[in-house]
Structure 1
Amino acid sequence: MAVNIKPLADRVIVAPAAAEEKTKSGIIIPDTAKEKPQRGEIVAVGEGKMSDQGVLVKPQLKVGDQVLYGKYAGTEISIEGTDYLIMKESDIFAVL
């Protein structure tokens, strides 16, 4: 999944996972009741952030990592008809 956009500094671009269509018991969830996904895949990573000492701190994440993030984290963007989130690396809670 190549993206023709490069995030700056310590930002990453995440492709959110699809929202759940039905519950584990088989009940179909209507569009109005679906929750925003809090899981996704990293599709692009910035070069890193400069520390106060002037040293480039490389990002810990890499393209392809499956991650968990906050429900309202990031900014929604659309690239070539596909929706992504762009957020700071610090908004990511965990790598799966």
Structure 2
Amino acid sequence: MKEDDIVGILESDDVKDVKPLNDQVLIKVAEASDKTEADLILTETTKEKPSIGILYPVGPGSLDEEGKRQPLSVSPGSTVLYSKYAGGEFKGADGTN
């Protein structure tokens, strides 16, 4: 494992206590809709994974060539749109993503 593979530090079983490193962020994914616009009920397997979420903690930013921190342009509480295949899933002790 390389240092670049480490995303954050988990200091307890609560996902909100994750401390992201460098330019990493933790996103609370929005809930997927249970129905379509035509009121058809969707099963768990047919629900599309949302690509919108709210930022929880964010890392301090990456280091530039001179070793200075470049802070992220987003902050905790921001609503973000992210790539469908970005990041990895993480479940807390209570089962939330």
Normalising by structure 1, report the TM-score: 0.79
1:3 to 16, 25, 28: 16
Aligned with 1:67 (options 48, 66, 80): 80
1:19 equivalent in alignment to 2:19: no
Query: Number of matched residues?
Result: 83
CA distance in 2 between counterparts of 1:14 and 1:40 reads 6
Q: CA deviation at 1:40?
A: 0.4
Shift of 1:39: 0.6
The secondary structure found in structure 1 opposite 2:89 is strand
The alpha carbon displacement at 1:81 in A equals 2.1
- Runs ≥4 in structure 1, deviation > 3 angstroms? none
State the alpha-carbon separation in 2 of the partners of residues 45 and 5 from structure 1.
Answer: 9
Structure 1 unmatched runs, 5+: 85-96
The structure whose residues are more often strand, as a share, is 1
RMSD: 1.4
The whole-number CA distance in structure 2 between the counterparts of 1:35 and 1:54 is 41
Q: Which runs of 5 or more residues in structure 2 are unaligned?
A: 1-14
- In the TM superposition, 1:5-84 aligns within 5 A as 5-84=18-97
Identify which of structures 1 and 2 has the higher relative contact order when contacts are C-alpha pairs closer than 8 Å and 6+ apart: 1
